[in-house]
Amino acid sequence: MDLEAVAAAVTPRLLAYLTARTGCPSLAEDVAQDALVALIQHWRRRGPPDSPDAFVFAIAKRRAGRALARRALLAPIDTLLGWRHAGPGIDAALEHRQTLDAVLRELRRLSRREREVLLLSAAGELRIADIASVVGATPAAVKMRLSRARRRLLSLHQDTSHEPARTAE
C-alpha cells in the first residue's frame, strides 16, 4: 500500500462525509485535514493501519463531533462579537445550500446511530466492515441499522408527500 495513493483516494470521500456530518464545507475541510495528518503520522511511525479507511474515518468522526460541540458553544459569542462572516460566493451557493439543508434535515429525523451508518455509507462510501469498525459494532448490526434507516427514510418521505393531501382535505 502506498500512503500517497491511499490519502488521495480517501480525501474526496472523507470531505463528502464530513460535509454531510457537519453541514459546513469549511469546517469539513479543517477536520479532514486533521484526520489526514493523523493518518500520515501514524503511517510514518507505525506503518499502515489495518484499514486506512476505517482509521481515518474514525478519527474524522470523533473530531467532527468535537468541532460541532465547540461551534455550538462558541456560536453565540461569534454572533455577539460579529466574527461570523459570510463565505465567498454565498449567493451562488444558496440554492445548493438550501437543498443540502433540506436533505440533512430529513436525515436528522433518523436516530443518531442510523444516521451515522447512513452517512458513512452514502457520503463516505465505506464498506460495511469499515463502517462496523468506525462505529464499534458488528457488520451484521451495521447492515441492520442501514436497512432500518432506509426503510424509515422511505416511510418518512411517504408521510411528508401525503401531508399536503391531508391538509387539502
Partner 1 sequence: MNPHERPSDVETTLRRLVSSDGTAAERVLAGAWSRSNLHRRRLVPWVWAGAAVVAAAIAVGAWYWPIPAAQPARLTITGNPAAVIVENRDGRRWVVTPRSEGVAQGSVVIVIGR
Using rule CB under 8 A, residue 36 touches partner 1: yes
Q: What is the C-alpha to C-alpha distance for residues 94 and 28, in angstroms, rounded to an integer? A: 18
Kind plus residue range of the DSSP H or E element containing 164: helix 139-168
Instruction: Return the range that interacts with partner 1 (CB under 8 A); candidates 4-12, 57-65, 74-82, 132-140.
Output: 4-12
Polymer length of the chain = 169
Is 95 or 169 the residue whose CB approaches partner 1 more closely?
95
Using rule CB under 8 A, residue 141 touches partner 1: no
9 Cβ contact partners less than 8 Å away, ≥ 6 residues apart = none
What's the closest the beta carbon of residue 2 comes to partner 1, in angstroms? 14
Q: What is the C-alpha to C-alpha distance for residues 129 and 151, in angstroms, rounded to an integer? A: 21
Number of Cβ atoms within 10 Å of the Cβ of 92: 9
Binding-site ranges for partner 1 (CB under 8 A): 7-8, 11-12, 15-17, 19-20, 25, 29, 32-33, 36-37, 40-41, 44, 96, 99-100, 103-104, 106-107, 118-119, 121-123, 125, 147-148, 150-151, 153-154, 157
